[in-house]
Chain A
Amino acid sequence: MSFLRVRDLTVTFTRPGQAPVRAVDGVTFDVGSGQSVGIVGESGSGKSVTSLAVMRLLPARNVQVTGSIELGDQDLLALSARQMRDVRGRDVAMIFQDPMTSLNPVLTVGRQLVEVIVRHDGRSVAEARRDAQALLERVGIPDPARRLREYPHQLSGGMRQRVMIAIAVACRPRLLIADEPTTALDVTIQAQILDLLRDLVEESGSALVMITHDLGVVAGLCERVHVMYSGRIVESAPATGLFARPAHPYTDGLLRSIPRIDDEERGMLHTIRGSVRDVVAWEHGCAFQPRCDHAVESCLGGPPPVHDLTGAPGHRVRCPRPVHPATPATGTGRSEGSA
């Protein structure tokens, strides 16, 4: 039984006098206990709105959320705001991209960490301070006693993200959602943070949802990957299957267009034409159709259904004409033209 079950999640932004925008459109996915799941997409794909919807952090005004989000035996969309505050931090916690804007600049690091522990674990402030110091030490912050008394601006970017992670894991949530946690960081610091996340998740048995645009980050961290495009999941698969045999033309194109550090090929890169702006509304057909090399006329005859890939258990794709590269795409087939 999955720990997080998202069913047919749809988020619509309504603006007075303007056409409503459907940022997330019928998204369904599961996260098992202790599982690491990646949600990959470019800007505007709806990946961040999906995570905000799960955390119930979207504004109530002009936003319509339908579908269901179940965490354990709780229906998150049915909870009151008060009940939801108990869930956040205790059962599910989130790590945001930019710790400078998500940490409170006028409170010390210690105060922000102690607050969570006192609120959820019902411990005294003195006990919480001891816990906080141990947590900072665990996330790799040198001299934690001094850092507890400091303010976010006194820390470096990587250090701030470690504090965010410490706050997120303080109450040992069973689900951790990380929305682009390393995008604002340099690669060597990114490697430190990903290593820390990997260790913490393994140690605590928490489930992890990793939201990112970076397929490399997902490859090293996640067991299962969902690829989003224009508000819908277009492909879901175990990480090994997705990277070895991408089925959706979008996933395939994306993987072939990224230069790899271990690739000596210096010719022209494969490209996906157009930009994420060139979309078709899903009710009229496949949103990726205008940029797709495999598109045929029937791609514009209504929303494409999701189907399972034969011979690949758990590999689902929202495309009637999936790609089947002759060789597994491990860098050799990437410089060829599209099939």
Chain B
Amino acid sequence: MSLLQVRDLKVHFPIRSGTLFTRQHGSVKAVDGVDLDVPAGTTFGLVGESGCGKSTLARAIMRLVEPTAGSITLDGRDLLGLSERRLRPVRRDFQMVFQDPMASLDPRQNVESLLTEPLRAHRIPGGSVEHARRIRTLLEVVGLPATALERYPHEFSGGQRQRIGIARALVLNPKLVVADEPVSALDVSVQAQVINLLKELQETFSLTYLVIAHDLAVVRHISDTVAVMYLGQIIEQAPATALYRAPTHPYTKALMGAVPVPDPAVEASRTRILLRGDLPSPANPPSGCRFHTRCPWRQATRCADERPALRTLAPGHQVACHFAEEIAAGRIPPSTTAVSSAAAAPAAASSAAEPPS
């Protein structure tokens, strides 16, 4: 049984014009029919480029934006059926870690006040003595000194601030932690510290994570299952190892081939699939398969006029592409203009975008 279950979730933002007589003409379909299942104690990674809807999906699950349609079930409880008032006590079960701790922590509250606030807001029993004991333990767990309590967010480095943000999310003992780009604002040398901390905390408190990130290497490292989003939809989902070993959807192939590897030998020998053009507007997404306008494997039939459903290829591995099997078997080659090779040696077209393992 999954801790978090999302069914056919849609978040559409209306596009309006006019000041007095507003008219709605169309909507931005930021999230357009997403299903998720996150088993308890696991980490689910959600990747995609800017504008794919991954942050909106996270915010909809947190009910920071109201979904247009669909259902969200946390630990068997339907979250969307609850009124704001009824939802409030349930919120302690799902908490969020934001990208930029400088923007998400109140600069005029010291750490003690920042960490005690959720306890008071949720009327956690124990009084100030018990609360103080609890936040001191938590500070130690996230690797901050007890002297941090009287200090303010600006007095800390970026990594330490993110530790405060994590402590604030954990102070209520949540079951699910939604982390939106938890390390992308941090310096490279500090990212590893925070990634390790998240892993340690998961073991200590048996947490379930939904991690949203654009860094595919970070997501691979921490996730059990990974889903790739494109224009509001999940186009491929699989166990992390399977997905990175054998990306199947053309977009996943291109995305993974585009990530630079800090190793000149690897960089010189790999061939990547270059996508043409930019992301189409989510207000007016392409017909059929949303990726067909940029897809190097596009076929004359089906791609432009038939929306591919997310279907199961192997146990746990789902992909939304009409020609996934043919592409995987190398029966359909990519258009040659899309293949770029840093080195002279051409690789076999079928294995083109796969990262070397």
Which residues of A does B touch, CB under 8 Å? 42-43, 142, 156, 158-159, 186-192, 194-195, 198, 213-220, 239-240, 243-244, 253-255, 257-266, 268-273, 275-277, 291, 330-331
Contact = CB atoms under 8 A, between A and B. Distances in A.
B261 A268 contact: no
Given A187-B255, A259-B195, A216 B275 contact: no
B160 interface: yes
B49 A187 contact: yes
Interface string B179-205: 000000001111111011001000000
Contacts of B340: 191, 195
Interface of B: 49-50, 157-160, 187-193, 195-196, 199, 214, 216-218, 220-222, 241, 244, 254-268, 272, 274-275, 277-279, 340, 342, 355-357
A283 B260 CA distance: 36
B4 to A, nearest CB: 21
Given A198-B342, A239-B264, A275-B158, A264 B241 contact: yes
A261 B256 contact: yes
Contact of A42 (B50, B188, B222): B188
Contact of A262 (B158, B264, B268, B356): B356
A21 to B, nearest CB: 17
A272 B192 contact: yes
Contact of B187 (A42, A244, A266): A42
Given A198-B342, A271-B193, A272-B192, A186 B267 contact: no
Given A195-B274, A261-B216, A275 B260 contact: no
B256 A258 contact: no
B195 A215 contact: no
A218 B262 CA distance: 8
A187 B193 contact: no
Given A195-B274, A271-B193, 16 more contacts: A42-B189, A187-B258, A190-B258, A191-B257, A216-B260, A216-B267, A220-B261, A244-B265, A258-B188, A260-B217, A262-B357, A269-B195, A271-B196, A275-B160, A275-B189, A277-B157
Nearest to A269: B192
Nearest to A45: B187
Contact of B278 (A42, A158, A261): A158
B221 A259 contact: yes
A275 B257 contact: no
Given A216-B260, A220-B342, A264-B357, A330 B188 contact: no
A239 B2 CA distance: 47
A255 B262 contact: yes
Residue with the highest number of chain A CB atoms closer than 10 Å, among B190, B261, B279: B261
B272 to A, nearest CB: 6
Contact of A213 (B157, B188, B266, B357): B188
Nearest to B216: A261
A14 B256 CA distance: 45
A258 B275 contact: no
A190 B272 CA distance: 12
Nearest to A239: B264
A270 B192 contact: yes
A273 B356 CA distance: 30
A240 B342 contact: no
Contacts of A269: 192, 195-196, 221
A213 B185 CA distance: 12
Contact of B263 (A243, A271, A277): A243
B126 to A, nearest CB: 33
A277 B186 CA distance: 13
A260 B356 CA distance: 11
B352 to A, nearest CB: 13
A198 B343 CA distance: 12
Please name the 3 residue pairs, one residue from A and one from B, whose CB atoms are nearest each other, closest first.
A216-B260, A220-B267, A191-B258
